[in-house]
């Protein structure tokens, strides 16, 4: 509808479901027998048994065996999230390119697992190996969208169990005991994944005016917000602490203050501070716990990094950040042009 994409989520979930029952074994005459598993409807295998009644034919379908089938798909409103909400991740291959996707849509996939045996004891062995794991659900980790490394735990819920004995007719008819287990897999469907970070908002600009004539309104007050780093990205190592710092100190001692100015932001470990005064060549008077960070103790010889616009431009997707906010008053009667991104 909006361009081709195929994340193979349904296929991956079907494979993950079948893998759960791929190694079921039973004990027969002091030997261990692996129960074959195939994808397909139960009636297909029953028809094959009825059409090949000769038990001595080497091509006859052997029992016990299991089959599973994907039987339905329904929307699950109980797990719905905001449809327009997006999330961004780094490319799992190179770690640099940012990929963007909308939040997934919750869907329930219905499965039917059929256990077919000749002997009731074989059926009971198989059923008893499966049921203890579903209480009533069992989580399976599925790599839903490998291009963004999106892995989720998919609950597979056991809904009900039914039993059927298809033994009818004379002694030449093959008997088939059938246990049918119905499951629901609570998976998620993702839409297309954008290969570029276009659309990620990095700047907000808002112009205010006092007239109600929006067509001819001119800017009078402008508010601008941009991301502000709360950790160091360029490892500038501007200075080093010369003494330990406790949580109540507002003056810190460093080896050299020449690289700093009043109102600069610095980060020590994970605490951001703002410089309020520089009393001498080795002392900084600071405001602690700046940018909503937590005051903490810091040890001697810890690096003191200066936060600059270079760090702001290097903020990675998913990292915490603050805001650079500016307000400007204008009397020039200019108007912002969105097409040219200039005032005219």
Which residues lie closer than 8 Å to 218 by C-beta, 6 or more apart? 209, 330, 333, 334, 335
55 pLDDT band (50/70/90 cuts)?
very low
Chain centroid offset of residue 294 CA = 28
Grouping H, G, I as helix, E, B as strand and the rest as coil, residue 313 is: helix
What CATH number has the domain spanning 9-189? Answer: 3.30.2000.40
The stretch 332-338 carries a mean pLDDT of 79
Q: What is the pLDDT of residues 16-41, one digit of tens each?
A: 999 999 999 999 888 899 999 988 87
Q: What is the pLDDT of residues 299-332, one digit of tens each?
A: 999 999 999 888 888 887 667 888 888 888 888 8
Q: What is the pLDDT of residues 164-209, one digit of tens each?
A: 886 655 555 556 788 999 999 999 998 887 665 555 678 898 888 8
pTM: 0.55
How many CA within 13 A on the CB side of residue 130? 31
Domain boundaries along the sequence of the chain: 9-189, 204-343
* DSSP letter for each residue of 33-87: EEPPEEES-HHHHHHHHHH---TT-TTSPPSSEEEEEEEEEEE-GGG---TT-EE
């Amino acid at each position: 509808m909006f361009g081709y994409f195929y994340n193979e989520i349904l296929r991956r979930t079907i494979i993950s479901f079948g893998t759960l029952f791929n190694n079921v074994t039973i004990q027969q005459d002091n030997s261990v027998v692996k129960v074959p598993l195939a994808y397909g409807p139960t009636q297909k295998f029953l028809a094959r048994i009825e059409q090949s009644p000769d038990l001595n034919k080497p091509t006859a379908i052997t029992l016990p065996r299991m089959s599973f089938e994907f039987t339905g798909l329904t929307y699950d409103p109980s797990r719905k999230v905001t449809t327009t909400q997006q999330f961004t991740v780094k490319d799992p291959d190179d770690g640099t390119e940012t990929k963007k996707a909308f939040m997934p849509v919750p869907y329930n996939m219905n499965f039917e697992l059929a256990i077919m045996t000749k002997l009731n004891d074989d059926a009971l062995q198989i059923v008893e190996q499966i049921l203890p794991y579903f209480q009533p659900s069992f989580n399976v980790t599925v790599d839903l969208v490998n291009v963004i490394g999106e892995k989720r735990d998919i609950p597979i819920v056991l809904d009900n169990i039914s039993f059927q004995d298809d033994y009818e007719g004379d002694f030449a008819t093959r008997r088939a005991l059938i246990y049918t287990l119905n499951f629901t897999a609570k998976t998620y469907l993702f839409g297309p994944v954008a290969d570029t970070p276009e659309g990620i908002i990095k700047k907000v600009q808002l112009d205010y005016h006092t007239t109600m004539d929006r067509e001819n309104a001119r800017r009078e007050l402008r508010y601008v917000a941009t991301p502000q780093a709360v950790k160091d990205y360029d490892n500038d190592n501007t200075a080093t602490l010369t003494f330990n710092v406790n949580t109540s100190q507002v003056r810190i001692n460093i080896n050299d203050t020449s690289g700093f100015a009043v109102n600069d932001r610095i980060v020590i470990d994970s605490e951001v501070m703002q410089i309020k005064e520089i009393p001498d060549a080795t002392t900084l008077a600071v405001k602690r716990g700046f940018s909503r960070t937590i005051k903490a103790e810091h040890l001697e010889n810890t690096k003191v990094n200066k936060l600059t616009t270079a760090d702001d431009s290097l903020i990675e997707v998913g990292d915490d950040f603050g805001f650079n906010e500016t307000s400007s008053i204008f009397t020039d009667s200019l108007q912002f042009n969105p097409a040219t991104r200039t005032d005219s």
